[in-house]
């Protein structure tokens, strides 16, 4: 029995206190609060758009041939589009979560509510 408890503590320790557990923690947090994922995706999208702007104004980019420029731009716009889609999906999940929360609050009164006699 002690070995099982020790194993459980070791697994939890790995998941909480090491980089190996970071994806697990991120997933759990995103399930609990989808807004965390939404903020991260929006920040990534903003960074992607900043990089796109810097690339367009870069002298190396200006010296590329037109097909190379087009290929690079299409790749960067595709990445930005993917991030925008992820943000949209996350926002939809947040809306669903908020809707379910509101529904539960309507069905189950809060503890502050006065009981009816």
Can you say how many angstroms the Cα of residue 83 is from the centroid of all Cα atoms in its chain?
10
Contact 30, 36 (CB under 8 A): yes
27: which 2 tokens? 């997933």
Percent of the chain with pLDDT over 90: 7
Q: With a cut of 60, say whether residue 116 has pLDDT above it.
A: no
pLDDT, residue 67, reads 92
Mean pLDDT along residues 38-42: 81
Query: Which is more confident, 117 or 87?
Result: 87
Mean pLDDT along residues 14-25: 74
Mean pLDDT along residues 73-97: 81
Residue-range domain boundaries for the chain: 1-25, 33-104
**What global pTM score does this model have?**
0.54
């Amino acid at each position: 029995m002690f070995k099982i408890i020790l194993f459980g503590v070791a697994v939890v320790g790995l998941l909480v206190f090491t980089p190996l557990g970071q994806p697990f923690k991120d997933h759990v947090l995103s399930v609990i609060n989808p807004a965390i994922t939404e903020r991260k995706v929006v920040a990534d999208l903003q960074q992607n758009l900043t990089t796109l702007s810097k690339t367009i104004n870069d002298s190396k980019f200006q010296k590329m041939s037109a097909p190379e420029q087009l290929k690079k731009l299409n790749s960067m716009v595709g990445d930005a589009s993917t991030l925008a889609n992820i943000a949209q999906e996350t926002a939809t999940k947040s809306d669903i979560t908020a809707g379910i929360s509101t529904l539960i609050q309507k069905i189950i009164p809060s503890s502050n509510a006065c009981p009816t006699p």
